[in-house]
Structure 1
Amino acid sequence: MKGKKTVALVAHDNKKPELLDWVRAHIDLMVNYQLYATGTTGTYLQEGTQDVGSLQIRKLLSGPLGGDQQIGAKIAEGEIDFLVFFWDPLEPQPHDPDVKALLRIAVTWDIPFACNRASANFLFASASLADAYERTEPNFTSYLQRSVPKKP
């Protein structure tokens, strides 16, 4: 991770107020990052923080319209360093496969991510957060060179 670190902020509708509360409590910290968000979450956060500071958030598409996949692509391209995704485990989502794919990509590309207030607090309280950190790039050579069965 070089230069200004990048954080993606995502929340399901029922978790947007919780993410907003968390961002407001950490506004002094958030202004030090490049921020990305899915469309609806980004708008919600910008509107909900106007009275405490101006957050510059690059908004992508709404999650169900492809925003989760856009965040995932940016993770795979090395453009996002952290993911904060307050997801709702009790509410089925029409784009559940996209949500699972986003979480899989975060794990695959070895980026730290938080899925609730407690994990976000621990992640952003880390003493090494401000340090330069080079994440280990996964080696997919054997996967890419694997033998795929041919059609019978």
Structure 2
Amino acid sequence: MNIALIAHDKKKELMIEFTKKHRDFFCKHQLFATGTTGQLIIDHTQLQVHRVKSGPLGGDQQIGALISDEKMDLVIFFRDPLTAQPHEPDVSALIRLCDVYNIPLATNIGTANYLLGYASSRE
């Protein structure tokens, strides 16, 4: 599967812990991530990650383009719902594209754990 990993600043530590916990799952798949999140995942897990630009610099749109080209199978986007984001329209567009193309989207740890459990059971 092609999996996108995105995390707002206040959720980056959560993403690091999540990818460490599920490293055995992620090493079997192609990972894509926005700039800073991707580098943190690489630094802490040594997983291979295709990095796009940082979210505010167009990374969310790049992931969206992969979705619209039907090249993404799962998106895990740990959003910070309590902090205003300067690129909120890009975030909304990414979520909308997941809905349009029926791409499973986890925006919190509970849903992400559930989706990985489901995906693991189908391997």
Shorter-chain TM range is over 0.9
Q: Greater helix share, 1 or 2?
A: 2
**Superposed counterparts of 1:46-125, under 5 Å:** 46-49=42-45, 54-125=46-117
**Superposed counterparts of 1:26-37, under 5 Å:** 26-37=22-33
Q: Match for residue 147 of structure 1?
A: none
Q: Match for residue 20 of structure 2?
A: 24
Partner SS for 2:103: coil
**Superposed counterparts of 1:124-143, under 5 Å:** 124-126=116-118, 130=122
The 1:122–1:95 alpha-carbon spacing in structure 2 relative to 1, beyond 3 Å, is same
Partner SS for 1:104: helix
Query: How far apart in 2 are the matches of 1:67 and 1:127?
Result: 25
Post-superposition Cα deviations, 1:83-128, rounded to whole Å, max 9, x if no partner, equal 0000000000110010000000011110111111100010010167
Q: Based on CA coordinates, which of the two structures has the bigger radius of gyration? A: 1
Query: How far apart in 2 are the matches of 1:117 and 1:127?
Result: 15
CA RMSD across the alignment: 1.3
Aligned residues: 123
Contact kept, 8 Å, 2:33 with 2:51, in 1: the verdict is yes
Give TM-score scaled by structure 2 length.
Answer: 0.96
Q: Match for residue 141 of structure 1?
A: none
Match of 1:11 among 7, 11, 15: 7
Query: How far apart in 2 are the matches of 1:76 and 1:111?
Result: 10
Query: How far apart in 1 are the matches of 2:87 and 2:37?
Result: 15
Structure 1 unaligned blocks of 5 or more = 132-152
**How many percent identity over aligned positions?**
46
Contact kept, 8 Å, 2:5 with 2:33, in 1: the verdict is yes
Query: How far apart in 2 are the matches of 1:109 and 1:28?
Result: 27
Contact kept, 8 Å, 2:3 with 2:32, in 1: the verdict is yes
Counterpart AA for 1:22: F
Counterpart AA for 2:34: T
Runs of 4+ in 1 over 4 A off after TM superposition: none
Query: How far apart in 2 are the matches of 1:128 and 1:19?
Result: 19
